[in-house]
Amino acid sequence: MKRFGLLSYAGTGNLGDEIQSLATQRLLPRVDAYVDREELAGISEPLSMVLNGWFCHFPERWPPAPALRPLLISMHITPQPTSPDRALLATHVFTQPPVADYLRRHGPVGTRDLQTAALLRAAGIDAYFSGCMTLTLNRPDVARQDDLVVVNEVPQAVLDHIRANTTRRIFRTWHVDYPETERAERFARAQELLDLYARASCVVTSRLHCALPCLAMGTPVLLVDVAHDQERFGGLHDFVHHCSWQAVLAGQSGYDFDRPPPNKTLHLPFRAALERSVAQFVA
């Protein structure tokens, strides 16, 4: 019998990672093991895993162990240094042997963003834009609260603007700097956030892994472009209503927080393709 693993994340402080794994978990028949994203080279027994999300803090630890059977999909390879004292870039490691050979052998590689797809193709690695695994999330069985606006990690000035332009109550959330390190607690908190976003009348966020889950669950969402690494959003921007924080403050967003417009539906073919890819991998 195949054994299935799921990515876990030690010490990142970012619950967006767990949200990505919750999306993957829904499409697996079971989870037999949790493997830290940065410890894939240590797998000793046969294990099938979907490798999706952000890669990675320690690119020198790639490629994964031969015992791992991977589905390479919804991957973002960061062009950013992972810390001020680390000069080794994932974009360099992943496009050179032996990692590039590993990606060619197990490809084609589905990428979460257009820049990662272009990076891999330029290195002779078969790659395509798959979108993010969080696009496959289902809406949990919770009641909508029409008086609730959730605001997730936007500048204070944007929050003040929203408060001045809605009669609805506002609830704030954060994904980063979450102090809990125990895996089960982190996954439980991530699910609580998803349940909250599903209940909201609309969500305003700067976080990719708030905006895309809302899109998948049918919660009206506005993505505010404040992240410094906008390359992570390439191709995904097209799926959601989005604008700069300056446009929000100037009243130019075109977004009515009391009567939010419905989400776009451009993501639906990508959602279906992601679900098919994982189903074929599981089978």
Phi, psi of 229 (to 5 degrees): -105, 70
What pTM did the predictor assign?
Answer: 0.94
- In this structure, the number of other CB atoms found within 10 A of the CB of residue 273 comes to 17
Same domain, yes or no: 129 and 101: yes
Whole-angstrom distance, CA of residue 266 vs CA of residue 240: 9
What's the pLDDT band for 88 if we cut at 50, 70, 90? confident
pLDDT averaged over every residue in the chain: 94
| Angle at which helices 208-217 and 183-199 cross, to 10° | 60
Pick from 18-32, 37-51, 173-187, 189-203: least confident: 173-187
- Could you tell me if 62 and 99 are in contact, meaning their C-beta atoms sit under 8 angstroms apart? yes
| Residue-wise pLDDT tens digits, 145-202 | 999 999 999 999 999 999 999 999 999 999 987 787 899 999 999 999 999 999 999 9
- Least Cα distance to 92 among 78, 109, 105 occurs for 78
CATH number at residue 172: 3.40.50
The residue with tokens 């042997």 is 97
pLDDT at position 99 is: 98
Same domain, yes or no: 129 and 11: yes
pLDDT at position 54 is: 96
Same domain, yes or no: 205 and 249: yes
Same domain, yes or no: 152 and 88: no
Same domain, yes or no: 144 and 75: no
Same domain, yes or no: 65 and 155: no
Same domain, yes or no: 192 and 152: yes
What's the pLDDT band for 121 if we cut at 50, 70, 90? very high
pLDDT at position 83 is: 64
Percent of the chain clearing pLDDT 90 (strictly above): 88
* Number of domains within the chain: 2
Same domain, yes or no: 217 and 130: no
Same domain, yes or no: 131 and 11: yes
pLDDT at position 85 is: 64
Same domain, yes or no: 53 and 163: no
pLDDT at position 283 is: 94
| Residue-wise pLDDT tens digits, 226-270 | 877 777 889 999 999 999 999 999 888 889 999 999 999 999 999
- CA 78 to each of CA 21, 105, 112, 147, 231: distance values in angstroms, whole numbers, following the listed order: 18, 21, 11, 38, 9
121: CB partners within 8 A, 6+ apart: 127
Whole-angstrom distance, CA of residue 202 vs CA of residue 262: 10
Same domain, yes or no: 234 and 173: yes
- Mean pLDDT on 73-96: 87
Q: CA angle, corner 196, sides to 38 and 180, nearest 5? A: 35
240: domain range?
Answer: 137-266
Same domain, yes or no: 63 and 144: no
- Could you tell me if 210 and 234 are in contact, meaning their C-beta atoms sit under 8 angstroms apart? no
| Residue-wise pLDDT tens digits, 90-119 | 999 999 999 999 999 999 999 999 999 999
pLDDT at position 180 is: 77
What's the pLDDT band for 79 if we cut at 50, 70, 90? very high
